[in-house]
A and B are shown apart, each in its own frame.
Chain A
Amino acid sequence: MSAPDLVVGAIVLWLGLGVAGLARPRHLAFVSRVVFPLGAAVGLALAAVALSAISAAPQMRELPLGLPDLPFHVRVDSLSAFFLMLLGAVAAAVSVYSAGYFRSSEGTAPGLVGFQYHAFLAAMALVLVADDAYVFMVAWESMALASYFLVTTEHRIPEIRRAGFLYLLIAHVGALAILLCFGVLQGGSGDYTFAGMRQQSLIGAWPSVAFFLALAGFGAKAGLLPLHVWLPEAHPAAPSPVSALMSAVMLKTAIYGFLRVSFDLLHGQLWWWGVAVLALGLVSALFGVVFAAVQTDMKRLLAYSSIENIGIIAAGIGLCILFRAYDKTLLAAISLTAVLYHCLNHAFFKSLLFLATGSVLHATHERSLGKLGGLIHRMPWVAWLALVGTLAIAGLPPLNGFVSEWLLLQAFLFTPSLPQSFVNMLVPVATAALVLAVALAAYVMVKFYGIVFLGRPRESNLAYAHDAGKLERTALVYLAAGCVLLGIVPVAVIALIDPVNVALVGSSARTGTSAGWLFLAPINADRSSYSPLIVLVVIVAVVLVTIQVVHRLYHGRVRRAPPWDCGFPAQTPRMQDTAEGFGQPIRTVFEPFFRMQRHLPSPFDGKPRYAVRVEDPLWHWLYLPIARGSDVLGRMAGYIQQGRISVYLTYSFFTLIALLLFIQ
């Protein structure tokens, strides 16, 4: 059985599981003990199949589905296989988690959620293997629709309905742009298969039009500025496993689509495309992380952090396009490796963090950071595994976030070899923006972890928090282990990614001089090398030796006492930093970025209150004017509707006369 057959088999299995769950929708044990774990198994199988398909040759299959003249084409090549592996590996973990998460059979029926969930997974897999525009759009729309229903699982709450509506709206705007892009790519031949599009050679401004339409369409789904506004609304509104899946995998399908169009379907890139994508990516990254620093809702914070990571990925893609435009294929391969590695890393650590917040939400029913705290004592499993995720996302060695950022920075440092001096000089500025975003990400994650898990509980009901169940723990351990492994053996992972480089940019990222399996040395071991395993071993060794030496030479006695209260004995846990407080320095420094509404208490208030609301300025500058404009247009169009039958009949009469004249 070839790879496409197996993948299609996995898709069918997922759909089948979903439908099976519909048979007994309210039977919780069936759904959570049978349907979801089987879905996880299918995910793992899919990941295994994809793993072997990355280094194999591309294989196509024509399915008998679809319309009579437009059959479905599917194709598994290295790019699709890489993202399929990502999908399978992460979906397995999230499915196992969901088996333990959906615990009540009131509200939305678990069987229905199971159906939507598996349909979502199947649609994403179909997007990744689609080989013509028709099945791509069908799968894309199904993905959007399935995720819309998942986002609005708790549809009785108005904010959630509103978030779902915004999500669907922007998803459709993006889908429109993608459709138009495919329309341009087929170049007038009427052949909408990707194979046909590869044969086309567009001239003049059409490649740029196609590129920017793809950027708009896929950027909308990925969450790039300015079409990012749905992300901070939809991710918190959805149940946590769904947020994890959306953030970890769905955003990556958009990246997949963008890579497919820019490198596979378009031949020859222009340097200014790369600069545009680089600039957009860096702006998104800075925007995302600055907004994440001022959030008070833990899932919104993680959503903005996703925007930041997607921005970093887009910056890497821009760099790759830039290198490719100047025919520096080795450097393009290195930046593409950094991009794909970061996709994989982000999938693992973001889903880990979202699932951890799901456990916290389950245990405490609180999403607001101001009402959490001290959970490391009540939920040790979740807390320690979330620590791994936090350190990974902050980009600290020796975990996986650091490796992809290291690779990207190395790629940036090679840019002075470009012929155009203007682009060369932009590079220090771009590097500066990137490292600033990375440093701020550490700030944001310290805020997240510290306020949720450390310190003392800010509310008294947190004393009843319980730790995560066995299934949830398994999923979290799996994802944390993935983060650690991806960080420690980067050379193996890069060997895995390499066939994608060859396929897309025409060069392998590994050069002749091999520095061995232990050292990651992209160009040359003299130039730069990094070995996370050695760093980890040395740090652990130093820590253990120090502990032993200190305890032997001196002692290990410990006494517990109340903390230092600065001379003010009546300290309560509420006096710890709130989320707004922790974000205040960022708010002060980056004030022009935000649109803040503050309510300051006056000295004459009987009950003084302080409130601050931080809003997205793009919402007010871009979206509200467009909404008002479309309102005005709608009202103008409403003049046609007079409400009287004779008027409508007059319209038909005039149309008839016009047609008769026209035919003549």
Chain B
Amino acid sequence: MRIVIIEDEFFAARRLENMVKVYDSSVEVLTKLESARDSINWFKSNEQPDLIFLDIHLDDDLSFSIFKEVSISSPIVFTTATDELATQFFVLKGIDFLHKPIVQEELNAMLDKYNHSKRMEKPINPHIFDDIINSKSNS
């Protein structure tokens, strides 16, 4: 199982990587990305992983902006500490997410879910998050 961790906080990303290894040491963390820009670049030149842990708040932008640049068909588990609005949205849309600090059991369950599942049939809709984004260009 190949995963990608997109997380702007250095120590948080390292912790998540460690926790994933705790679940299954064979899980391959393809990369740890800190910004949306880096992520887009990575996806443009790499195959889609089996699972993405995606923090909402990245160094340079919200992670949702990635979807507008590249088509992502990998399953995504969002991670968030305090974005209540986002969490409500995820619950509403049935999108998977994990609260930070991530608890090992919750992570395990999430990894279990996606360990053997196939890829998503359709890439994620780049606009489904528009409602909760306060775009600078609009304001």
- Decide if A and B are genuine partners: no
